[in-house]
Amino acid sequence: MGRLDDKVCLITGGARGQGAEEGALFSSEGATVVLTDVLDEDGEKAAAGIDRAEYLHLDVSSESDWETVVADVMGRHGRLDVLVNNAGIDLVKRLEATSMDEWNRLVAINQTGVFLGMRAAANAWIAAGTGGSIVNISSVAGLQGVVGHGAYTGTKFAVRGLTKAAAQEWGRHGIRVNSVHPGLIETPMTADLKPFRDPDVRVKAERNIPLGRMGQSIDIANMVLFLAGEESSYCTGQEFTVDGGVHN
């Protein structure tokens, strides 16, 4: 028996990286997986390579997209058990150089997208009289300020706060909400960061990680799996750091 047998799990940002890794792991544990993204070609390819997986287009910053996708999943599968708010973007730029367009784009995807997803799932669960698990992917930048990533840091702190408020409000409905805070994880989104493109910088970075290595997508997927399943049934409103021991 898998840990997610008969569960229906929706994962945003599922076309590649952490989202695709989470989808593959969830499927191996018995779940029906709905990958969503705006990268349709990559998303279709990712879903085709995973058992019991499908792909749906979803712009997480769009209220109407969220309503359509959640209604579609509930209508076709009769249930939704897990939502993983994984979609996100980064911006490597100091605050004084950040434009309003850049700021608004980060907030729309990283912060508003998480709010819209949580609200859509919670409304469906409350109406159906069922509970569920929401896992929000934040960052270690949601735990401390990061130089050169000010706008990103602001949105990731917001995700942490939204997680805690939602856990307080929706616990009585059997809805659990937790956040995961990855450190340096090797994904397509982080490929342009110095630790992943400069071997010398990578060596120096790994010296500062107690476990001595960069993180991989599977490291995050394993934590998300724990929070999605019954093993974490008494955990809500908490942040779970996955960074090799840097923040302890």
Grouped pLDDT means (10 residues each) for the chain, 248 residues: 91 96 98 98 98 98 98 97 97 96 98 98 97 97 94 98 98 98 83 76 86 91 98 98 93
Catalytic, 152? Answer: yes
Burial class (CB within 10 angstroms; exposed 0-12, middle 13-18, buried 19+) of 119: middle
> What's the pTM value of the predicted model, to 2 decimals?
0.94
- Token look-up 């394993």 returns 222
Indicate the pairing of strand 185-186 with strand 215-216.
Answer: parallel
CATH assignment of the domain containing 63: 3.40.50.720
Q: Is residue 226 part of a domain?
A: yes
Torsion angles phi and psi, residue 35, rounded to 5 = -85, 135
Q: Is residue 2 part of a domain?
A: no
- DSSP label at 36? E
Q: Quote the pLDDT of residue 202.
A: 87
Other Cβ atoms closer than 10 A to 28: 15
Q: Is residue 197 part of a domain?
A: no
The two structure tokens encoding residue 226: 């724990």
Q: Is residue 100 part of a domain?
A: yes
Q: Is residue 176 part of a domain?
A: yes
Q: Is residue 200 part of a domain?
A: no
Q: Quote the pLDDT of residue 2.
A: 79
Q: Quote the pLDDT of residue 226.
A: 98
Nearest-angstrom CA–CA distance, 71 and 121: 10
Domain span at residue 156 reads: 8-190+217-241
Q: Is residue 208 part of a domain?
A: no
**Which residue in 152, 157, 170, 240 is the catalytic one?**
152
Q: Is residue 204 part of a domain?
A: no
Number of domains in the chain: 1
Which amino acid, 9? Answer: C
Radius of gyration of the chain (CA): 17
Q: Quote the pLDDT of residue 191.
A: 66
Q: Quote the pLDDT of residue 1.
A: 61
CA-angle at 165, arms to 159 and 168, nearest 5°: 140
> How far, CA to CA in Å, does 145 sit from each of 125, 136, 139, 150?
35, 19, 11, 7
Q: Quote the pLDDT of residue 199.
A: 83
